[in-house]
Chains A and B, each alone.
Chain A
Amino acid sequence: MGGLLKQSLRGWILVLVVALCISALANVGLNPYQQQILFYIAINIMLATSLNLVNGFCGQFSLGHAGFMAIGAYASALVSLNFQPLGAGFDVLIFPFYALIGGICAGLAGFVVGMPSLRLRGDYLAIVTLGFGEIIRVVLLNLDVAGGARGLYGIPGRTDFMACFHAFFWAGTTVLLLWRLVHSSYGRAFLSVREDEIAASCMGINSTRTKVMAFVISSFFAGAAGSIFAHTTNSLNPSSFQFVKSVDVVIMVVLGGMGSLTGSVIGAILVTILPEALRPLQEYTHVDLRMVIYSLTLILLMIMRPSGLLGSREWNQILPGPWRRRAARA
């Protein structure tokens, strides 16, 4: 029994340690601009891994992830702008709750959107989720309480050590929980629906419920990511949540490999860093070629290596020999 408890705690300890290390390094070694990038990495890791649950593991095609991020961002921002129960020094303890609220609101939205939509085939589902994402954005644009086109300002939040730890704790938690989900009977249910929905149904899998579950969980983490985004950038605007943002996340998932959580993490990191790495090119040519390169990458990826960098393999499957045997027990 002690052994099983140790196994359960192992994951959390890893998350805590990684989050601490990254935050400490960031605090000491990086300038504010680079720290901001680090926050985006954490947020994008949450977005990419959660989208992978639906697109990669469950085999559905959602193009509306930005919408759920927006719901989480705005919901938690509206709460934090109007309701700050703890004083300035202790607010770091309340941020996880804002993220939780954002996640729950987004998860509920995921349920509302997912229930009717998930009976539709691949390309139809893609269009419906695209549509919902855009509707959410248009509604926010016209909602006065959400600030309309001007958006929300002055959202509390910092980008210091504690905030960085918070962001990476969430990112690590997302990866850990999704990993565990995927390596459980529910994960196998997702995969079976992806592989052959009819066969899965005939084996007793409620395919609609399975898909909705993946969708709701995915939306939850997108919402939490949105909340962290809101409290890092301290302002929100519907223009941050356009269709292009959903495509961004799709690129991260596709690049890393649909069906690989490790791949999504790598994809998120690469896609966050790439535009910044290309900034010198932009300054040199005075032309914003970044998005052109971005979209070209997507096309070339799909034509030449649709399985992405890792395919559906995880970190414990790409290690050499003796390390792999050790890792196989993960």
Chain B
Amino acid sequence: MEELIQHVINGLNLGAIYALIALGYTMVYGVLQLINFAHSEVYMVGAFAAYYGALRFHLTDNPGWGAFGLTLLIAMVICSALGLCIERFAYRPLRGAPKTNTLITAIGVSLFLQFAGQVVFGADPKLFPEVLRDETLFSFGEIRIQLFDVTILAVALVAMLLLNYFINKTKTGMAIRAVSFSFRSATLMGINVNSIIMVTFIVGSSLAGIGAVLVGLKYPKIQPLMGTLIGLKAFVAAVLGGIGNLPGAIVGGLLMGLCEEMVVAYLSSTYRDALAFGLLIFILLFKPSGIMGQTRVEKV
């Protein structure tokens, strides 16, 4: 029983991170109908931005909430900048093009960043800076609740609440929802779609940056190809919840994290990664619109 609770805690943690990254995928898909393959590399760059930032500003000298907050900020800023560049130079020129062309470009950007990352950062793994010290907060029997676990859940929760407020209670958020619903109509209503898309990328990329820092805390080994696997799983989570649907991304992420944790704990760890692919195929074949998505009818 205690083991189960520990696994649930771990699963929720993992799920919270998947949810943060999944939100980025789902927001971009919502406004552009594009699977932003490069999102996983934005996440990776976030981790390295935190690494180099911590080095530059000597943040590991005084680990604590201040250093942690600063690291988050650095990651968010760098990720947003990268996300904006990608949108501006790779995706915007293809705005009117067939979706497959944009998809191919997205794959190209993803690969480019992976390989450029290997060249610039070096292929060897680096150690994420210790900007926060882990400690055990509570323990009952076999269950241990770590500071990192609480931090991850708390930060993720705050981010999601802020996002929810932003999307549902602000004018810009409403504009994003309008563009997601109908690109054309939004332009006709006077919404500056380019700005909205830029905001979407900023928000999505920032969430990836936050996710990167949280992951870096718990799993400090970072390397240029770290984005691929987690990006795929987060993408599956987004599809699971219904791609384009924000609450869906969160539900999908948490579900994904819990499933993975349970599979590793009770079945076999060899197939942990295959779970993501399997889930993806299953959901696409049986309910492509996801748990919370709605099928749209094509007008003929």
Contacts and interface: CB of A to CB of B under 8 A. Distances in A.
Note whether A and B contact each other (Cβ less than 8 A): yes
Interface of A: 55, 61, 63, 116-117, 120, 122-124, 126-128, 131-132, 134-135, 138-139, 142, 198, 244, 247, 250, 254, 287-289, 291-292, 294-296, 298-299, 302-303, 306
B69 to A, nearest CB: 34
Interface of B, secondary structure class, is: helix
- Classify the interface of chain A: helix, strand, loop or mixed: helix
A142 B273 CA distance: 12
A127 B108 contact: no
Most buried by B among A139, A250, A289, A302: A302
Interface residues of B, number: 38
Interface of B: 33-35, 90, 93-94, 97, 99-105, 107-109, 111-112, 115-116, 118-119, 235, 239, 270-271, 273-274, 277-278, 280-281, 284-285, 288, 298, 300
Nearest to B276: A131
A211 to B, nearest CB: 15
Contacts of B109: 295, 299
Given A123-B35, A295-B111, A250 B281 contact: no
B105 A299 contact: yes
B116 A292 contact: yes
Contacts of B284: 117, 120, 124, 127-128, 131
Contact of B97 (A127, A244, A299, A306): A306
B101 A306 contact: yes
Nearest to B113: A295
Output the residue of A131, A134, A254 with the most chain B CB within 10 A.
Answer: A131
Given A117-B285, A131-B281, A303-B94, A126 B111 contact: no
A49 B35 CA distance: 26
Nearest to A55: B100
A185 B116 CA distance: 46
A289 B119 contact: yes
A127 B105 contact: no
B171 to A, nearest CB: 30
B112 A295 contact: yes
B274 A302 contact: no
Given A55-B100, A298-B108, A302-B101, 10 more contacts: A123-B34, A123-B99, A135-B274, A139-B274, A291-B111, A294-B115, A299-B109, A302-B105, A303-B93, A303-B105
A129 to B, nearest CB: 10
Contact of A135 (B100, B104, B278): B278
Contacts of A122: 99-100, 103
A328 to B, nearest CB: 29
Given A131-B280, A247-B107, A142 B270 contact: yes
Nearest to B285: A116
Nearest to B102: A302
Contact of B112 (A131, A134, A292): A292
A294 B271 CA distance: 32
B230 to A, nearest CB: 15
Contacts of A289: 119
A302 B100 CA distance: 10
A254 B93 contact: no
A254 B102 CA distance: 12
A299 B280 contact: no
Given A122-B100, A298-B107, A303-B94, A127 B115 contact: no
A135 to B, nearest CB: 5
Nearest to A250: B104
16 contacts: A61-B103, A116-B285, A127-B280, A128-B285, A244-B111, A250-B104, A250-B107, A254-B104, A287-B119, A288-B115, A292-B112, A294-B111, A295-B115, A302-B97, A302-B108, A306-B101
